[in-house]
Amino acid sequence: MKNLSDINVIRSVMAKHGVTFNKGLGQNFLVDPEVCPSMAEYAGLDENTCVIEVGPGVGVLTAELAKCAGKVLSFELDERLLPVLDETLKDFDNVEIINQDIMKADLAKLIEEKCKGMKIAVCANLPYYITSPIIMMFLESKLPIDSITVMVQKEAADRLCAEVGSRDGGAVTVAVNYYAESEILFFVPKDSFLPPPKVDSSVIKLTLRDKPPVEVKNEEFFFKVVKAAFSQRRKTAENSISAGLGIPKANVKVALEQAGLPATVRAEKMTMEDFANLAEILEK
Ligand code: SAM
């Protein structure tokens, strides 16, 4: 099997098929030979796991996943890479490349058809231009996903895995925490990629919860309150929520009081319970 983290191998297989890097699709391919085996190991795969990958590139992580999992469903948007992947992954009979935008895939149907009875995990070196939409799509999908082990931009990792109620936290932190336990696994410097991107990366793992850490009656409204609260980070939650949801300031003030929060509180100081209480009071 070819060494897919070797720069010369990547260049030559791409040249052979007339493929050049497409920056717009986030095509920075891993060339550090230790990263992909580690990601596959942290993903906790076994024979009974069907792993979903987003963006195989030339297949460097795909090959490691195929060694550890029962099945790999890998979504690649760039059709130019299909003949490359046919060549680089020809030794594996448990990999299926699906030439589709992951955001448009009918995952429930595909899982039912191709991974019936198997555990489901996600593992990928994500295209950074759509990191949060992809992660949120998996978290909100209600699919039976056990965990999401992904490489993201370092700053995104810090935000996604921050503690709710800390300075690094944002609306996406609350959303991730609602669905999953999160951890940053390891740092990956920019020179681990071809071509090197402008930013460093981290690999994170989100382990999906059986149930959310707080009871929320109306999830849609809860997330609207969270988004509004963080929409103007320099302002108080009272001002941001009032502006974001079009609720009179006086009403938000009373709701904050009833939730036991100071009138000057900022979203980044609020806990999951605070958001859940406040949303319930505001909805009433
Ligand atoms: N897994 C390879 C690696 O680690 O070297 C490539 C990762 S590269 C950061 C991201 C890959 O995602 C590219 O191959 C790109 O073409 C693909 N991609 C970008 N947007 C996509 C989308 N919406 N759906 C599926 N694949 C996508």
Residue 2 within a domain: no
Which of 208, 230, 248 is the endpoint of a domain? Answer: 208
- Same domain assignment for residues 119 and 242: no
Nearest to 114 by CA among 17, 49, 205, 192: 49
pLDDT for 233 equals 80
What residue owns the CA closest to ligand 1's atom 24? Answer: 101
- Same domain assignment for residues 102 and 230: no
What residue owns the CA closest to ligand 1's atom 19? Answer: 25
pLDDT for 79 equals 98
When pLDDT is averaged across residues 39-67 and rounded to a whole number, the result is: 98
Domain of residue 277, CATH code: 1.10.8.100
Which of 148, 174, 208 is the endpoint of a domain? Answer: 208
pLDDT for 218 equals 96
For ligand 1, whether the C-beta of 28 sits within 6 Å is yes
Query: In the structure, what pLDDT confidence band is assigned to residue 212 with cuts at 50, 70 and 90?
Result: very high
What residue owns the CA closest to ligand 1's atom 20? Answer: 25
Ligand 1 centroid, distance to 202 Cα (angstroms): 16
pLDDT for 223 equals 96
Ligand 1 centroid, distance to 266 Cα (angstroms): 37
Ligand 1 centroid, distance to 211 Cα (angstroms): 31
pLDDT for 57 equals 98
Prediction pTM value: 0.95
What residue owns the CA closest to ligand 1's atom 5? Answer: 29
pLDDT tens figures, 56-96: 999 999 999 999 999 999 999 999 999 999 999 999 999 99
Residue 214 within a domain: no
When pLDDT is averaged across residues 166-180 and rounded to a whole number, the result is: 95
Ligand 1 centroid, distance to 89 Cα (angstroms): 16
pLDDT tens figures, 226-282: 999 999 888 999 999 999 999 999 999 999 999 999 999 999 999 999 999 999 999
- Same domain assignment for residues 159 and 227: no
- Same domain assignment for residues 203 and 229: no
